[in-house]
Amino acid sequence: MKRIITIIGLLLFVSAVNAQSDTTFKIVKKITGDIVDFTVDNLDNIYILNSRNQVKKLNSNGDSVGVFNDVKNYGKASLIDVSNPLKVLLYYRDFATVVVLDRFLNAVNIIDLRKQNIFQAKAIGQSYDNKIWVYDELESKLKKIDEEGKLLQETPDFRLLLGQAPSPIKIFDENKYVYLYDSAKGVYVFDYFGALRNNIQILQWKNFKVVGKYIFGSKADTLFRYEIASFNFDEWRMPEEIYKSSSFNFTSTRLYALRKDGIYIYSIH
């Protein structure tokens, strides 16, 4: 495993030396309004969290197609998972609660993780089969639960498996693998049986996201794109008006940047 990590590190370094820096970011659209945070799905739908803790869904044209107003019980969502556009997960970390919404943002189910003895979890993520991945920090295990919260499977204790306990802030299920991102330890890649397949040394990236065959992220004024299968590693220097945005999100061809006056949508190549 150490040899694999070393090889990947060398590949990242060599590719970074040849990284791109002259890409033009072309603005496609701007979305204005009361926006505190946001995310996007793979169909370019935009999900906005406003200052009243409402979640609004806009389609790719910017038209409103749904609103989730039931915020009195939970406050601000810690995480919004939209990897499946037909099923949205709102995670409220302080209450260890997952609210499942349909594509119109109507509540379908509420899962109290505490009833499954999961009391501390920074990250959740949707699985390929519409179940939910949860990393239980107290037990140092990756667990899969169904929509009722029932435990379906779990990994061994990562402290025994890895010799240390990661603290992932993001979980993505893409192309038959589960990606756990710990910004201090890198990306842990597991198969669906819980076997560790790789540890990619991507460290201290912000706005981390796995999209299809790519991993996106940013650091200071630089946008990164890592191609998982080929180990190709591209980077682009961003103009000041983009990199000073409060947060980014990505699809395979677009960069979304949240600034004080709205979300700016750019094409990337």
pLDDT, one tens digit per residue, over 41-74 is: 989 999 999 999 999 999 988 999 999 988 778 8
CA–CA distance, 49 with 71 (Å, rounded to integer)? 11
pLDDT at 132 over 80: yes
pLDDT at 126 over 50: yes
253 vs 226, more confident: 226
Domain hosting residue 213, numbered range: 1-31+205-269
Asked, for residue 153, whether it belongs to a domain, the answer is no
Asked, for residue 215, whether it belongs to a domain, the answer is yes
Lookup: tokens for 147: 């929509």
pTM for the predicted model, two decimal places? 0.86
Asked, for residue 16, whether it belongs to a domain, the answer is yes
Asked, for residue 145, whether it belongs to a domain, the answer is no
Asked, for residue 26, whether it belongs to a domain, the answer is yes
pLDDT tens-digit map of 170-216? 999 999 999 999 999 999 999 998 889 999 999 999 999 999 899 99
Half-sphere exposure of 266 (CA within 13 A, CB side): 20
Task: Please give the single-letter amino acid code of residue 75.
Answer: G
* Of the candidates 233, 210, 211, 232, the residue with the CA atom closest to the CA atom of residue 222: 233
* DSSP conformation class of 241: H
Q: How far is CA 136 from CA 35, 98, 118, 200, 266, in A?
A: 30, 14, 6, 21, 36
Asked, for residue 172, whether it belongs to a domain, the answer is no
| Residue matched to tokens 């204790």 | 157
Number of domains in the chain: 1
User: Which H or E run contains 14?
Assistant: helix 2-17
Half-sphere exposure of 264 (CA within 13 A, CB side): 16
Q: How far is CA 232 from the centre of its chain?
A: 21
CB contact set of 166 (below 8 Å; sequence gap of 6+): 135, 158, 180, 182, 185, 188
Asked, for residue 63, whether it belongs to a domain, the answer is no
pLDDT at 4: 43
Q: Which residues pair with 265 in a beta bridge?
A: 29, 256
Confidence category of residue 269, pLDDT binned at 50, 70, 90: low
pLDDT at 268: 75
Q: Which residues pair with 137 in a beta bridge?
A: none
Longest Cα separation, the chain: 52
CB contact set of 43 (below 8 Å; sequence gap of 6+): 60, 85
Asked, for residue 220, whether it belongs to a domain, the answer is yes
* Of the candidates 224, 225, 226, the residue with the CA atom closest to the CA atom of residue 243: 224
